[in-house]
Chains A and B, each alone.
Chain A
Amino acid sequence: MAIHLTKESKVLVQGMTGGEGMKHTRRMLAAGTNVVGGVNPRKAGRSVDFDDRRVPVFGSVAEGMDATGADVTVVFVPPAFARAAVTEAADAGIGLAVVITEGIPVHDSVAFIAHARRKGTRVIGPNCPGLITPGQSNAGIIPADITKPGRIGLVSKSGTLTYQLMYELRDTGFSTCVGIGGDPVVGTTHIDCLAAFQDDPDTDLVVLIGEIGGDAEERAAAYIRDHVTKPVVGYIAGFTAPEGRTMGHAGAIVSGSSGTAQAKKEALEAAGVRVGDTPTQTAQQVLAVLNADG
């Protein structure tokens, strides 16, 4: 089962013929992803060979969907073209658009996320590593070979903290790991993923990784309290971040008393979530919960 992505998913890559697109399409294919085509209006009709796989290039998402039945697109196009790319994908009626591109203007993200919502397209990202269902499919840039299939679900704002936890818990394994991205506005939230993991019969426990800025973690805590019966283990980064400075991710900023790591940790703990002090301790708490239940 897993969430949002399985071995049945047929994946298009918008921006496949660019440098990052080529590199990561090769990696996605190696991880077992069924990449059915690339999209580039200037290279329509050609194809690209990745080791033993020949992947056709379509002129539009709609054309690619007609020809292949694709239901997922991974977007690698540069920031200036991302709005048009996602809008096109949503207009074509794709189910899931995973937007890897970093540095997209917030007004563009607001516009294409609202448009996609109206069209029934789920957006993951932007500025995210994508999502992986280990052993089945990988849509984005998450390294596939640092973990194995299992029954932990993971949702995170941060790419490298996701990788760290995937690696720490590699012997237990994951159902699906979703990097929702570190921008101020993202298409899929912690809550969306918590809801999906709660309903996923292949997930026993959810790891939730958050960081300073906004109130997504506080909202997630309220959602967990009211709707999630599976155990959740959390980790929050940014306790030492100074007020008013952006820490790498555009959304990672403490303004006044809002968005602090302490407030997020307290909200999660009040909802019954165990919150680790370090990534390693967080992994140990996951194992403790699984062993106690098992």
Chain B
Amino acid sequence: MDLYEHQARELFEEHGIVVPRAEVTDSPQRARGIARRLGGRVVVKAQVKTGGRGKAGGVRIAADPAAAELTARQILGMDIKGHTVGTVMLAQPVDTEEEFYVSYVLDRAAGRFLAIASAEGGMDIEEVAATRPEAVARVPVDPAEGVTPAQAARIAGAAGLPPQAVDVLVRLWEVLVREDALLVEVNPLVRTRDGRIMALDGKVTLDDNASFRQARWGAEHSTPHDPLEAAAAAKGLNYVKLDGEVGIIGNGAGLVMSTLDVVAGCGARPANFLDIGGGASAQVMADGLSVILSDPSVKSVFVNVFGGITACDAVADGIVRALDTVRLTKPLVVRLDGNNAARGRAVLDEYAHPLVEQVTTMDGAAGRAARLATTP
């Protein structure tokens, strides 16, 4: 889960990293009062979980409290790359002398974290890395040792950062470890005219797997915006809404991803990703079907299940019991393969629902579901 900039700022501050004074609000009137408290002149920053805010007009300077109110009114509700701005952060402007870049990112291939630092901050680090790779230092972090002051000094030295940045590197590592983050990034980290090192903007991505021991950011931020995704999340389903017309239910992340691809290869667009896992119980099947059937763009549904640990006859029983509780309004193509496939198919044949059709191969069933969805 990505945090908002103001949440990242709060974490940095708690861990002793210097940040500008700032407050968050969803109200233009309150923005005026905040600006007054911060000294009048402020930076108004849209709080959205996407890059490119500045270019989209989501970061602006306001000269006084009245201007802050007006600017907040303009930015709140803006659409930035599909994200609606719900809150703005007002921050004291900072006179910067130099801008740097520092982050800790997960190096998947090496199985450890990597410090990335550059004396050329403030812009897109991937662009700097592409055009001037020598300006970006990449230093692996030994998981057993972490970032000690000596290690931080090596990172700062490799990147050409000032000695005062060493302390920030150590504290930023603490943020990463204590908060179970997968990414912490400060861009820019600045040296102010009066010589202080300050984190002006930050990004933090938390590990969802660690939520059992990191309850702090809670459910308020994890509720999806899409109503179908919210309904699926409420039922505990692993569902992602897509822009298509073939509803997809399958078991196992890889098989479901593959099912989307095969449907797309047949000339239709998948309407969703839904992995019902290994068990494929009647309840989960019913929950999944009800979410998918409530999607108005869905024209057909493809249930693609491989019977491994759960045999196909049990899966077929689950489908039959699900259809006792969910009224089927669109054609359903079922492909059952694997353990007890013949028995599973017989169960559905006997049920003989007029809207349920079986195709024995994955490719054939995907083609059939695609045709049903695209034929007028």
Interface of A with B (CB < 8 Å)?
A: 27, 79-80, 103-107, 109-111, 113-115, 118, 141-143, 145-146, 156-164, 167, 182, 184-187, 189, 209, 211-212, 214-216, 219, 235, 237-242, 245, 247-252, 256, 261, 277-281
Contact A247 B108, beta carbon cutoff 8 Å: no
Report the Cα distance A72→B41, complex, angstroms.
65
Task: Report the 9 A-B pairs with minimum CB-CB distance, sorted nearest first.
Answer: A158-B254, A248-B253, A160-B252, A160-B255, A105-B210, A161-B254, A237-B257, A143-B308, A237-B258
A184 to B111, CA, bound (A): 8
| Docked pose: A250 CA to B254 CA in angstroms | 12
How many B residues, CB 8 Å from partner? 51
B208 located at the interface, meaning its Cβ lies under 8 Å from any Cβ of chain A in the complex: yes
Selected from B109, B254, B306, B309, the residue in CB contact (under 8 A) with A215 is: B109
B254 surroundings in chain A (CB, below 8 A) = 156-162, 182, 209, 211, 237, 248-249
**Nearest-CB distance from B236 to chain A (Å)?**
14
Instruction: Please give, as numbers and ranges, the residues of chain B lying within 8 Å of A209 by CB-CB distance.
Output: 254
Q: Which A residues lie within 8 Å of B306 (CB)?
A: 160, 163-164, 167
Contact A107 B252 (CB under 8 A): no
Which residue among A27, A167, A237 has the maximum number of chain B CB atoms within 10 Å of its CB? Answer: A237
Q: Contacting A107 at CB < 8 Å: which of B180, B238, B263, B337?
A: B180
Closest to A161 in B: B254
Which residue of the partner chain, among B143, B262, B264, B361, contacts A111 with CB atoms under 8 Å? B143
Determine the residue in chain A with the shortest Cβ distance to B269.
A240
A54 to B338, CA, bound (A): 31
Considering the complex, give the chain A residue whose CB is closest to the CB of B251. Answer: A160
Cβ-based interface call for B349 (8 A): no
Give which listed residue, A146, A249, A279, contacts B258 with CB less than 8 A. Answer: A279
Q: Which of A79, A143, A215 contacts B209 (CB 8 A)?
A: A79
A248, B238: Cβ atoms closer than 8 Å: yes
21 contacts between A and B (CB under 8 A): A80-B213, A106-B182, A110-B111, A114-B112, A145-B339, A146-B338, A146-B339, A160-B254, A161-B252, A164-B306, A209-B254, A211-B253, A237-B255, A239-B264, A240-B269, A245-B240, A247-B253, A248-B254, A250-B208, A250-B209, A256-B126
Contact partner of A79 among B126, B212, B275, CB < 8 A? B212
Within 8 Å CB of A186, what residues of B? Answer: 111
Kindly list chain A residues whose C-beta atoms are within 8 Å of the C-beta of B46. none
Given the complex of chains A and B, what is the CA–CA distance between A159 and B252 in angstroms?
7
Selected contact of B261 from candidates A111, A215, A240, A251, CB within 8 Å: A240
A240 and B258 alpha carbons, distance in the complex (Å)? 9
In the complex the two chains form, is A248's CB within 8 Å of B257's CB? yes
Q: Report Cα–Cα, A62/B239, bound state, in Å.
A: 42
Measured CA separation A106–B241 after assembly (Å): 26
Contact among A103, A162, A240 with B260 in the assembled complex (CB-CB below 8 Å): A240
Assembled-state Cα–Cα distance A106/B209 (Å):
7
B221-261, CB < 8 A from A: 238, 240, 242, 250-258, 260-261
A280 (CB) vs chain B CBs: closest residue: B363
CB-CB under 8 A for A106 and B252, given A146-B339, A185-B106, A241-B257: no
Asked if B144 is at the interface of the complex by the 8 Å CB criterion, the answer is yes
Chain A residues with Cβ below 8 Å from B257 are 158, 211-212, 237-238, 240-241, 247-248, 252
- Residue of A with least CB distance to B243: A242
What would 16 more interface pairs be, CB under 8 Å, given A250-B209, A280-B363? A106-B182, A143-B338, A145-B339, A167-B338, A185-B106, A209-B254, A214-B108, A216-B108, A216-B109, A238-B260, A240-B242, A240-B257, A242-B242, A245-B240, A248-B275, A280-B362
How many Å lie between the Cα of A158 and that of B261 in the bound state?
Answer: 15
Task: Decide yes or no whether B33 CB sits under 8 A from chain A.
Answer: no
A186→B110 CA distance, assembly (Å): 10
Chain B nearest CB: distance from A113 CB in Å? 5
**B265 beta carbon closer than 8 Å to chain A:** yes
B100 interface residue per 8 A CB criterion: no
Kindly state the separation between the CA atoms of A115 and B362 in the bound complex, as whole angstroms: 42
Residues in A whose Cβ lies below 8 Å from that of B113: 110
Contacts of B112 in A (CB 8 A): 110, 114
- Once bound together, how far apart are the Cα atoms of A186 and B337, in whole Å? 29
List chain A residues, Cβ under 8 A from B262: 277-278
Min C-beta distance of A55 to chain B, whole Å: 20
Instruction: Take A211-B254, A248-B238 as given contacts and tell me if A237 and B261 are in contact as well, using a CB distance cutoff of 8 Å.
Output: yes
State A211–B220 Cα separation when bound (angstroms): 31
User: B residues within 8 A CB of A237?
Assistant: 254-255, 257-258, 261
Task: Write the B189-214 contact mask toward A (1 if CB under 8 angstroms, else 0).
Answer: 00000000000000000011110110
